[in-house]
């Protein structure tokens, strides 16, 4: 049995790079853009990796963590449906409570190693006996169980039309300056009650506008220092910090846009609790979400987007290094989500097969992509010195990306086939559950039969179950995209056949379907709609609504993943993931010629640590990576 100070077994740090795409990573390494990753590959072993279906974040990080297939670990979709719940009830797939299999950190903790998870799906709330947990849940969504307030934007009323969801601010001219107030009200608190801060816009050095907020100031386009404050939430006053960036300003008219970072309190995001303030003092305030929220709404530019992404990535790696060097932690896993965000936002501009692509501006978007991967490279560089201290350092992604060409509404198709019945309510298509036989959701890959005796308004008798399964499968596979002359759905299986995809158990739909490359069939991106469109070609001219799950949002995603086979390739992209590992006993400069499965990561880490793998792990270690063929 190995422990904190034991010489038996090893220690490991895993950097989870959500959506790191092997085609881009390999290209950028070859071009010299990623020197730290290049050195890691030269010092260690590398393989492309195959995700499990569907190839989305919570499903595949659960597989990385447990070594199990979705049917075993229970995370079968981006959001989860529990049989017996109404079909409109969905459950988050990121908390530790939904996992039905032991994780590598739980197995290591049980075998008396000190472990830590940082922003890793399935790691919060911690279930280890003496392990370290650092939020959040690892979700790409904007909301957070830790935040007091999501990132936001305060704007003068003249700017509001161009800044979606910004908070209006009334400014008054006082001499050559503009003055006003902003309130940092806690999230979901209609009463407000947050701290009110005075703001002043004035001319700074070299005639550049600057903002003064409370006691901190910064010129246009620069961050203020972190501002400490207290916010009342849940009946208590909580210490927190935020920073601001004046992204637009005209002193002539008083027009202003002021970006405010996500606000997470200094306590409550770690276990043990006292670790939170210590990390804040060492590395700065913790922020959980740094995705496309501000950019999509026009609040910030690309530079600010990258700055927040870098802050988050380096915060995680510096905290991980501290836990390794000062706390002597045996196993550390962290996850950084930004590559997924930036690829969804901009992939179309770098891939010639995409309708968003233009040769004239592809260079500037390629630079954005390179800079994003360079942040990941710097994260690897921050932790690389630990290799000389005997740690094994691994980088792994959960899936890749391919261009997003067309979106399909499976529920609109089911409605056309008479399997789903809906009524019009307030301009929206609302499912008539009492008459609906089949429904696709919560997100992708699953169709559920409204079964009598299992589902609250079930209308399909158990005797008709198989016949309805077959009708659903025929509906999905016989539909053709006439413009393309092919079917968007390449495979549909009955539930008991879906084990070949790793899907089984109560959280797997009655029919499981896979999409053709370039198509999506995500009911969250393209839900049931009154006009009944089934396939929509995408591109810059296609309108999308901003709120997820409340309308057609597929066109905001220039790339996709998870709807099809994990071997899918299209344009510059692939659905495959990455896995690289260097450290004691790992082969140097070794590249596996065939892809490995993400189900093998947990057992490989267990071999590095010298412990037994997680209890439900369903695959063995990647023996080819080891010099002694463990």
Same domain, 89 and 215: no
Q: Check whether 630 has a pLDDT greater than 60.
A: no
- Containing 133, the helix (H) or strand (E) segment is strand 132-134
279 within some domain = no
**Apex 16 CA angle, 20 and 581, nearest 5:** 90
Confidence of residue 6 (pLDDT cuts 50, 70, 90): very low
The encoded tokens of residue 627 equal: 């010099």
467 within some domain = yes
Classified as helix, coil or strand, 139 is coil
224 within some domain = yes
Confidence of residue 551 (pLDDT cuts 50, 70, 90): confident
Number of CB atoms found within 10 A of residue 95's CB? 19
Those residues whose C-beta lies under 8 Å from the C-beta of residue 156, and which sit 6 or more positions away, are 168, 169, 170, 171, 254, 255, 256, 257
Those residues whose C-beta lies under 8 Å from the C-beta of residue 388, and which sit 6 or more positions away, are none
Q: Check whether 64 has a pLDDT greater than 80.
A: yes
Alpha carbon of 325 to those of 60, 118, 271, 317, 376: distances in Å? 29, 16, 18, 12, 21
Mean pLDDT, residues 231-255 taken together: 91
Confidence of residue 221 (pLDDT cuts 50, 70, 90): very high
Q: Do residues 449 and 437 make contact, with C-beta atoms less than 8 angstroms apart? A: yes
Number of CB atoms found within 10 A of residue 440's CB? 29
Q: Do residues 622 and 591 make contact, with C-beta atoms less than 8 angstroms apart? A: no
Same domain, 190 and 60: no
Q: Check whether 511 has a pLDDT greater than 70.
A: yes
Same domain, 510 and 591: no
CA distance 307 to 372: 10
Percent of the chain at pLDDT > 70 equals 97
Same domain, 423 and 547: yes
CA distance 388 to 588: 14
374 within some domain = yes
pTM to 2 decimals? 0.96
Confidence of residue 411 (pLDDT cuts 50, 70, 90): very high
pLDDT tens digits, 521-530: 999 999 999 9
Q: Check whether 303 has a pLDDT greater than 90.
A: yes
Confidence of residue 285 (pLDDT cuts 50, 70, 90): very high
pLDDT at 3: 34
Classified as helix, coil or strand, 557 is coil
429: CATH: 3.30.1360
DSSP state of 461: -
Regarding predicted confidence, which is higher, 465 or 231? 465
Q: Which of 202, 229, 260 represents a domain boundary (last residue)? A: 260
pLDDT at 629: 63
pLDDT tens digits, 451-497: 999 999 999 999 999 999 999 999 999 999 999 999 999 999 999 99
563 within some domain = no
71: CATH: 3.40.720.10
pLDDT tens digits, 574-621: 999 999 999 999 999 999 999 999 999 999 999 999 999 999 999 999
Same domain, 431 and 537: yes
pLDDT at 162: 93
Same domain, 411 and 548: yes
Q: Check whether 8 has a pLDDT greater than 60.
A: no
Same domain, 418 and 489: yes
Q: Which of 233, 260, 287 represents a domain boundary (last residue)? A: 260
Task: Indicate the number of domains in the chain.
Answer: 3
- Containing 91, the helix (H) or strand (E) segment is strand 91-92
Q: Which of 197, 225, 260 represents a domain boundary (last residue)? A: 260
CA distance 446 to 469: 12
pLDDT tens digits, 16-42: 999 999 999 999 999 999 999 999 999
Does residue 136 have a cis bond before it (omega within 30 degrees)?
yes
DSSP H helical ranges for 2-130: 22-30, 35-43, 57-66, 70-73, 104-110
Q: Check whether 2 has a pLDDT greater than 50.
A: no
The encoded tokens of residue 118 equal: 């940082």
Same domain, 391 and 525: no
Rounded to the nearest integer, the mean pLDDT of the chain is 94
pLDDT at 133: 97
Rg of the chain taking only CA atoms, in angstroms: 25
Q: Do residues 610 and 2 make contact, with C-beta atoms less than 8 angstroms apart? A: yes
Same domain, 547 and 415: yes
Phi-psi region at 587: left, alpha or beta (left = phi > 0; alpha = psi -120 to 50): beta
Classified as helix, coil or strand, 12 is strand
Closest by alpha carbon to 521, among 628, 440, 588?
A: 440
Confidence of residue 7 (pLDDT cuts 50, 70, 90): very low
Closest by alpha carbon to 19, among 187, 140, 154, 184?
A: 140
- Could you please report the per-residue DSSP string of 29-44? HHTTS-HHHHHHHHHS
DSSP state of 460: B
pLDDT tens digits, 152-209: 999 999 999 999 999 999 999 999 999 999 999 887 665 556 899 999 999 998 899 9
Number of CB atoms found within 10 A of residue 463's CB? 8
4 within some domain = no
The alpha carbon of 211 is separated from its chain's Cα centroid by a whole number of angstroms, namely 33
Phi-psi region at 583: left, alpha or beta (left = phi > 0; alpha = psi -120 to 50): left
364 within some domain = yes
Indicate the length of the chain as a whole number: 630
Burial 422-431 (b: 16+ CB within 10 A, else e): beeeeeebeb
CA distance 490 to 519: 10
Mean pLDDT, residues 83-97 taken together: 95
**Apex 429 CA angle, 424 and 432, nearest 5:** 80
Write out the residue range of the structural domain in which residue 547 sits.
406-556
DSSP state of 367: H
Q: Check whether 535 has a pLDDT greater than 90.
A: yes
pLDDT at 49: 98
Same domain, 410 and 375: no
Same domain, 430 and 464: yes
The encoded tokens of residue 191 equal: 């009463």
pLDDT at 141: 79
Same domain, 455 and 369: no
CA distance 366 to 359: 11
296 within some domain = no
């Amino acid at each position: 049995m190995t422990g904190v100070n034991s010489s038996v077994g090893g220690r490991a740090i895993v950097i989870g790079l959500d959506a790191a795409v092997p085609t881009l990573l390999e290209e950028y390494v070859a071009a010299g853009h990623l020197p730290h990753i290049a050195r890691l590959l030269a010092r260690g072993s590398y393989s492309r990796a195959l995700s499990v279906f569907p190839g989305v974040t919570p499903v595949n990080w659960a597989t990385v963590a447990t070594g199990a297939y979705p049917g075993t670990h229970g995370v079968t979709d981006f959001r989860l449906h529990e049989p017996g719940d109404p079909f409109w009830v969905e459950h988050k797939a990121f908390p530790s409570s939904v996992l039905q299999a032991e994780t590598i950190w739980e197995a290591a903790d049980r075998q008396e190693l000190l472990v830590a998870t940082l922003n890793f799906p399935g790691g919060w709330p911690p279930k280890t006996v003496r392990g370290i947990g650092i939020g959040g849940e690892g979700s790409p969504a904007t909301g957070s169980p830790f935040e007091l307030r999501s990132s936001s934007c305060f704007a003068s009323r003249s700017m509001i039309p161009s800044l979606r969801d910004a908070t209006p601010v009334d400014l008054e001219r006082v001499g050559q300056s503009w003055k006003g107030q902003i309130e940092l009200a806690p999230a979901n608190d209609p009463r407000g009650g947050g701290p009110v801060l005075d703001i002043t816009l004035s001319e700074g050095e070299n005639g550049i506008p600057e903002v003064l907020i409370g006691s901190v100031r910064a010129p246009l386009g620069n961050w203020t220092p972190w501002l400490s404050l207290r916010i009342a939430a849940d009946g208590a006053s909580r210490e927190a910090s935020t920073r601001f960036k004046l992204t637009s300003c005209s002193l002539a008219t008083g027009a202003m846009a002021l970006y405010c970072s996500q606000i997470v309190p200094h306590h409550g995001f770690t276990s043990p609790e006292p670790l939170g303030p210590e990390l804040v003092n060492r590395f700065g305030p913790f922020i959980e979400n740094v995705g496309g929220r501000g950019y999509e709404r026009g609040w910030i530019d690309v530079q600010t987007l990258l700055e927040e992404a870098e802050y988050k990535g380096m915060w995680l790696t510096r905290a991980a290094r501290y836990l390794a060097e000062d706390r002597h932690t045996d196993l550390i896993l962290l996850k950084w989500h930004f590559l997924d965000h930036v690829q969804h936002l901009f992939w179309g501009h770098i891939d010639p097969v995409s309708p968003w692509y233009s040769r004239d501006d592809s260079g500037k978007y390629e630079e954005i992509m390179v800079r994003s991967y360079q942040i990941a490279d710097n994260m690897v560089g921050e932790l690389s010195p630990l290799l000389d201290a005997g740690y094994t350092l691994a980088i792994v992604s959960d899936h890749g990306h391919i261009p997003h060409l067309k979106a399909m509404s499976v529920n609109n198709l089911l409605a056309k086939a008479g399997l789903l019945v809906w009524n019009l309510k307030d301009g929206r298509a609302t499912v008539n559950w009492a008459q609906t036989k089949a429904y696709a959701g919560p997100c992708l890959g699953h169709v559920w039969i409204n079964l009598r005796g299992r589902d609250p308004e079930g209308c399909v008798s158990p005797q008709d179950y198989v016949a309805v399964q077959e009708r659903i499968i025929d509906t999905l596979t016989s539909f053709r995209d006439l413009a393309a002359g092919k079917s968007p759905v390449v495979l549909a299986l009955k539930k008991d056949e879906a084990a070949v995809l790793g899907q089984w158990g109560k959280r797997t739909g009655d029919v499981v379907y896979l999409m053709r490359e370039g198509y999506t069939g995500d009911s969250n991106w393209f839900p049931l709609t009154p006009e009944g469109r089934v396939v929509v070609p995408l591109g810059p001219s296609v309108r999308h609504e901003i709120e997820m799950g409340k309308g057609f949002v597929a066109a905001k995603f220039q790339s996709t993943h998870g709807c099809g086979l994990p071997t899918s390739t299209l344009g510059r992209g692939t659905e495959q993931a990455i896995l690289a590992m260097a450290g004691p006993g790992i082969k140097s400069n070794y590249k596996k010629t065939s892809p490995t499965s993400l189900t093998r990561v947990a057992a490989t880490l267990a071999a590095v640590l010298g412990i037994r793998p997680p209890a439900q792990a369903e695959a063995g270690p990647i023996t080819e990576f080891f010099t002694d063929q463990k």
